[in-house]
C-alpha cells in the first residue's frame, strides 16, 4: 500500500541528508540523457506518481540542484523556493524533464479523452472542473518545456494532495458505514414484523458484544508502548527504554517512524477490540481506528510536521506529562460516524444515481429496439434485392441460352450449306 510519507521522506532526504558522495569530475562531459538510470523511488499512489518520481529522480542527478537541496529546509521547499534553482540544472537534465513533461501531457490528454468518451457512453455530463484538476501538477498552457512553474506546481500539488489523503480515507469510510446502514434498513423493510423484531434484537446484541472489550490504552502513551515492549517484543517492562524501543520499531532503520511503522505499534490495542472471526467486528472499522490512532500520535509527536517521527521528536514526547498520565481513548463505536441528516442525503444521492441508471437503461433499450427494427428493415430490403437480382440472372441466362441456341442453329445451317456446296 502506498503512503503519503514517502513523498515527504524523499523531500526530507533531499533536504536533510549530509552531502552524499556525488563524484563530479568536471573534466568529463555529462552523460547523455539516454544513459541516465531509470527512477527507483517508492510509489506515492498519486495519479501523477510516475511523473513525480521521474522528475525527482532526474533532478537528483544534477550536482547543482542536489547541492541546493542540502541548503534548503523543508518549509522553503514546500513554499517553492527550490523550484527557481531549476534554471541552473544541466542541459541534459532539462532536456529529459521537457521530454517527461510532454509524455505526461500526452498521457493526461489520452486519459481525459477516454473519460469523456466513457461519460458520453453513460450519458453523463462531463465535469470540467474535475478534469482541469488533473492538470494542476503542471502548466499545461505550455505543453512542450519543463519550466520553474512546472516544478513549483508539482511540489505544491504533491504536498497538498498527500496532506489531504487521510481526509479522503475518512470520507470513504463514512460512505462505507452509511451504505452498510442503508442496506440494513432496506433489508428490514422486506421482513414481516416478527422477523424484523428478531433482526433488530440481533443487531443490538452484536453492537453490545462489539463494545464489550478490555480498556484501550491511549495511543502513543507509556502504557501503550510498554504493552508492545512486553507482549510483542517479549522484554521486561521494568527495562523499558524509549531509545531502544524506537530503534526496535524503526523497522527499515532509516532513523524515523513513518506512518506504517507507527500504525504497526497499534496492532496489540486493536486486537483487544477486533477479531476477524467474530461477526460483530468489522475489519474496515479496525483500519479506520488504526488510522485515527496514527493521526493522533502524529499530531502530538511530529512537531516539524514532515509526517515522520524522528528519534528526537519521539524522546521529547516521552518526556511530556501526557505520555505518563494520558487521558482515556474513545474507540470508534463510542461516537456516531454520521448524522441522520448525512445518511438521508447519502440515500437521496443513491436514489438519484439509481434513477439516472434506470433512465439510461431505458434509453439503451429503446435504442436497441430501434436498431433491431432498422436491422429488420435492412434484411427485408436485402431479400428484396436478392430476389430482384435472381430474376435478372434468370432473364440473362434465358436470353443467353436463347441466343446460343439461335447461334448454334445458324452455324448448323451454315455447315449444311457448306456441305451442299461441296
DSSP class of residue 146 equals -
Cα gap 216→227, rounded to integer Å: 11
Q: Choose the stretch contacting Ca ion; rule: CB under 5 A; options: 35-43, 79-87, 159-167, 304-312.
A: 304-312
Residue 390: count of CB within 10 angstroms of its CB: 10
Asked if 260 interacts with Ca ion (CB under 5 A), we say no
Which of 104, 261 has the CB closer to Ca ion?
Answer: 261
Q: Of the listed pieces 20-28, 220-228, 242-250, 359-367, which binds Ca ion according to CB under 5 A? A: 242-250
Question: What is the torsion angle, in degrees rounded to the nearest 10, for the CA atoms of residue 172, residue 176, residue 177 and residue 181?
Answer: 150
Options 58, 96, 306, 343; binder of Ca ion; rule CB under 5 A = 306
Does 302 help bind Ca ion (rule: CB under 5 A)? yes
Cα separation, 176 vs 253, whole angstroms = 36
Residue 414 grid coordinates: 451454315
Range 36-75, binding Ca ion (CB under 5 A): none
Q: Which H helix or E strand runs over 60?
A: helix 49-60
Residues 6+ apart with CB under 8 A from 51: 100, 101, 103, 104, 107, 137, 138, 154
CA 414 to chain centre: 92
Least distance in Å: CB of 244 to Ca ion?
15
Alpha helices in 123-164 (DSSP H): 128-133, 148-163
376: contact with Ca ion by CB under 5 A? no
Q: Note whether 263 binds Ca ion by CB under 5 A.
A: no
Instruction: Give 174-183's long-range contacts (Cβ < 8 A, gap of 24+).
Output: 174/337, 174/338, 174/342, 175/346, 176/284, 177/337, 177/338, 178/338, 178/342, 178/343, 178/346, 178/347, 179/346, 179/350, 181/343, 182/343, 182/346, 182/347, 182/350
**Using CB under 5 A, which of 76, 127, 254, 279 touches Ca ion?**
254
> Alpha-carbon torsion 187, 192, 195, 201, what sign?
positive
Residue nearer to Ca ion on the CB measure, 256 or 346: 256
Closer residue to Ca ion, CB minimum distance, 267 or 390: 267
Stretch that binds Ca ion, among 6-14, 250-258, 325-333, 365-373 (CB under 5 A): 250-258
Q: Applying CB under 5 A, which of residues 250, 259, 282, 288 lies at the interface with Ca ion? A: 250
Q: Which positions ≥6 away from 2 have C-beta within 8 Å? A: 42, 43, 44, 45, 49
Nearer residue to Ca ion within complex by CB, 9 or 173: 9
Least separation in angstroms between CB 258 and Ca ion: 5
In the complex, minimum distance from the CB of residue 71 to Ca ion, in angstroms, rounded to a whole number: 20
User: Rule CB under 5 A: is residue 304 a binding residue for Ca ion?
Assistant: yes
The CB-of-322 to Ca ion minimum distance in angstroms stands at 18
> Among positive and negative, which fits the CA dihedral 244, 249, 252, 255?
negative
Taking alpha carbons only, the member of 124, 108, 119 closest to residue 46 is 108
Nearer to Ca ion by Cβ, of 131 and 311: the residue is 311
Distance between CA atoms of 311 and 299, rounded to whole angstroms? 16
Least spacing, CB of residue 224 vs Ca ion, in Å: 19
Least distance from C-beta 263 to Ca ion, angstroms?
12
Which stretch in 17-25, 134-142, 167-175, 303-311 sits in contact with Ca ion by CB under 5 A?
303-311
Least Cβ distance, residue 8 to Ca ion (angstroms) = 9
Q: Please, what is the minimum distance in Å from the beta carbon of residue 11 to Ca ion?
A: 12
Closest CA to 233 of 220, 221, 247: 247
| Pattern 307-326, Ca ion, x by CB under 5 A | -x------------------
Q: How many residues bind Ca ion (CB under 5 A)?
A: 8
Stretch that binds Ca ion, among 60-68, 93-101, 243-251, 370-378 (CB under 5 A): 243-251
Nearer to Ca ion, 12 or 93 (CB): 12
Residue 391: partners with Cβ closer than 8 Å, 6 or more residues away = none
Region from 8-16, 223-231, 249-257, 349-357 binding Ca ion, contact rule CB under 5 A: 249-257
Using CB under 5 A, pick the residue from 252, 319, 334, 421 that binds Ca ion.
252
Q: Which is nearer to Ca ion, 82 or 308 (CB)?
A: 308
Looking at the Cβ atoms of 151 and 265, the one nearer to Ca ion is 265
> Do residues 92 and 32 touch, judged by C-beta distance below 8 A?
yes
340-353 residues labelled b (16+ CB within 10 A) or e (exposed): eeebeebbeeeeee
What residue ranges bind Ca ion (CB under 5 A)? 250, 252, 254, 256, 302, 304, 306, 308
Amino acid at each position: 500500500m502506498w503512503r503519503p510519507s514517502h513523498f515527504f521522506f524523499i523531500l526530507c532526504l533531499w533536504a536533510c541528508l549530509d552531502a552524499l558522495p556525488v563524484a563530479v569530475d568536471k573534466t568529463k562531459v555529462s552523460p547523455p540523457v539516454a544513459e541516465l538510470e531509470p527512477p527507483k523511488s517508492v510509489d506515492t499512489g498519486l495519479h501523477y506518481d510516475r511523473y513525480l518520481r521521474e522528475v525527482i529522480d532526474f533532478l537528483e542527478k544534477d550536482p547543482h540542484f542536489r547541492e541546493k537541496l542540502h541548503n534548503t529546509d523543508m518549509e522553503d521547499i514546500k513554499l517553492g523556493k527550490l523550484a527557481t534553482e531549476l534554471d541552473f540544472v544541466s542541459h541534459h537534465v532539462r532536456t529529459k524533464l521537457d521530454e517527461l513533461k510532454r509524455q505526461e501531457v500526452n498521457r493526461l490528454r489520452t486519459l481525459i479523452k477516454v473519460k469523456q468518451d466513457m461519460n458520453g457512453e453513460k450519458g453523463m455530463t462531463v465535469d470540467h472542473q474535475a478534469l482541469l484538476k488533473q492538470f494542476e501538477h503542471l502548466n499545461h498552457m505550455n505543453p512542450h518545456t519543463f519550466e520553474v512553474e512546472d516544478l513549483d506546481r508539482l511540489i505544491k500539488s504533491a504536498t497538498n494532495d498527500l496532506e489531504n489523503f487521510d481526509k479522503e480515507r475518512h470520507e470513504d469510510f463514512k460512505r462505507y458505514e452509511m451504505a452498510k446502514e442503508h442496506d440494513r434498513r432496506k433489508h428490514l423493510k422486506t421482513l414481516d414484523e416478527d422477523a424484523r423484531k428478531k433482526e433488530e434484537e440481533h443487531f443490538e446484541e452484536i453492537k453490545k458484544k462489539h463494545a464489550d472489550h478490555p480498556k484501550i490504552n491511549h495511543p502513543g502513551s507509556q502504557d501503550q508502548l510498554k504493552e508492545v515492549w512486553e507482549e510483542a517484543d517479549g522484554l521486561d517492562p521494568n527495562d523499558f527504554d524509549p531509545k531502544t524501543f524506537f530503534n526496535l520499531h524503526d523497522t527499515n532503520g532509516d532513523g524515523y517512524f513513518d506512518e506504517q511503522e507507527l500504525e504497526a505499534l497499534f496492532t496489540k490495542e486493536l486486537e483487544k477490540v477486533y477479531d476477524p472471526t467474530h461477526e460483530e467486528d468489522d475489519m474496515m472499522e479496525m483500519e479506520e481506528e488504526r488510522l485515527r490512532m496514527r493521526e493522533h500520535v502524529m499530531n502530538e509527536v511530529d512537531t516539524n510536521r514532515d509526517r515522520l517521527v524522528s528519534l528526537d521528536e519521539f524522546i521529547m514526547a516521552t518526556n511530556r506529562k501526557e505520555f505518563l498520565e494520558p487521558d482515556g481513548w474513545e474507540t470508534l463505536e463510542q461516537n456516531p460516524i454520521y448524522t441522520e441528516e448525512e445518511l438521508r442525503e447519502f440515500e437521496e444521492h443513491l436514489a438519484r444515481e439509481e434513477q439516472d441508471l434506470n433512465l439510461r437503461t431505458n434509453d439503451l433499450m429503446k435504442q436497441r429496439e430501434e436498431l433491431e427494427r432498422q436491422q429488420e428493415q435492412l434484411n427485408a430490403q436485402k431479400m428484396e434485392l436478392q430476389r430482384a437480382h435472381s430474376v435478372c440472372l434468370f432473364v440473362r441466362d434465358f436470353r443467353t441460352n436463347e441466343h446460343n441456341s439461335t447461334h448454334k442453329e445458324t452455324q448448323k445451317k451454315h455447315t449444311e450449306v457448306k456441305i451442299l456446296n461441296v
